[in-house]
Amino acid sequence: MKLLLTDSGIRNPSIHAALLDLLGKPIAECTALCIPTAGYGGSWGDPTGPWRFISGQAPSPMTGLGWKSVGVLELTALPSIGPERWVPWVREADVLLANGGDALYLAHWMRESGLAELLPSLPDLVYVGLSAGSMVMGPRVGEQLADWRPPGGSDGALGLVDFSIFPHLGSPTWEGFSPAAAEHWAADLGCPGYAIDQETAIKVVDGVVEVVSEGTWRTF
């Protein structure tokens, strides 16, 4: 699996070029599955956010980039239909597009659905995360950013990369995401961390990490 972990989607030419490099072919030739699940989680979750993400009406460019096709992979539905139906959908897709929202809610349903177990076996699949969709890949979300809690109350995420992500760095529209808040978050992690703004993404291929940015970011 190849990862492009963004704060706010495909926001600028540098992140767009990184996406094309991972895909290895034009967007118009690629089939996408979008995962809206995280948008329902957390205290701010509502039905309008997932709709905006799916329909391409959200300000973060993801589903509206001109894909050959876009389907919806709603993780909460997968356990009820069985892997024999949905696993082929994922295997045949070129890219997964994971919505923002609540990272722990997303991690929970990635595990419950079986998608988390499947992903490491798909070396050619491109996974593009948006905010929580990126945070879910790390070892921890961090207590400071935890809202919805899974059974047991842990802030542990999937651990498919060895670093955690602090999104929305310095954003004037997101309270509590200042550089000072990022330092406080990192001090409690016990693992490497990246704080990224909306013009930044982290590209991971075969364990090699590359920061792609036209904005501001920090590593801890």
Kindly indicate the confidence band of residue 161, based on its pLDDT and cuts at 50, 70 and 90.
Answer: very high
Q: Is 206 helix (H, G, I), strand (E, B) or coil?
A: coil
Distances (CA, A) of 184 to 122, 147, 181, 193, 209: 35, 17, 5, 12, 23
Q: In percent, how much of the chain has pLDDT > 70? A: 100
pLDDT band at 43 (very low <50, low <70, confident <90, very high): confident
pLDDT over 90 (residue 42): no
pLDDT tens-place string over residues 49-105: 999 999 999 989 999 999 999 999 999 999 999 999 999 999 999 999 999 999 999
pLDDT digits (tens, 9 = 90+) for 98-127: 999 999 999 999 999 999 999 999 999 999
Beta-bridge mates of residue 165: 194
Residue 191: pLDDT over 90: yes
Mean pLDDT across the chain: 96
Q: What is the dihedral of CA 87, 88, 92, 98, to 10 degrees?
A: -30
What is the spatial distance between Cα 163 and Cα 147, in angstroms, rounded to a whole number?
A: 20
Q: What is the pLDDT, as a whole number, of residue 173?
A: 83
The predicted pLDDT at position 141 comes to 96
Q: Radius of gyration over alpha carbons of the chain, in Å?
A: 16
H helical segments located in the chain: 13-23, 48-55, 78-81, 83-92, 103-113, 115-118, 132-135, 179-187
The four Cα atoms 40, 43, 49, 53 give a dihedral, to 10 degrees, of -60
DSSP letter at 194 equals: E
Average pLDDT over residues 154-180: 93
pLDDT class for 151, splitting at 50, 70, 90?
Answer: confident
pLDDT confidence tier of residue 179, bands split at 50, 70 and 90 = very high
Q: Is the pLDDT of residue 25 over 90?
A: yes
Bridge pairing between strands 126-130 and 95-98: parallel
> Is pLDDT of 199 > 90?
yes
The pLDDT, as a whole number, for residue 70 is: 98
Hunting for tokens 């704080």 — which residue is that?
195
Distances (CA, A) of 97 to 147, 152, 181, 198, 219: 22, 28, 28, 16, 25
Residues 6+ apart with CB under 8 A from 14: 212, 213, 214
Q: What φ, ψ does residue 35 adopt, rounded to 5°?
A: -115, 100
In contact, 30 and 69? CB cutoff 8 Å: no
Kindly report the pTM of this predicted structure.
Answer: 0.96
Average pLDDT in the 157-167 region? 97
Mean pLDDT of 4-26: 98
| Residue 176 confidence class, pLDDT cut points 50, 70, 90 | confident
Q: Which CATH architecture has domain 2-136+197-219?
A: 3-Layer(aba) Sandwich (3.40)
Task: Report, as an integer, the average pLDDT of 154-160.
Answer: 95
In the chain, where are the structural domains located?
2-136+197-219
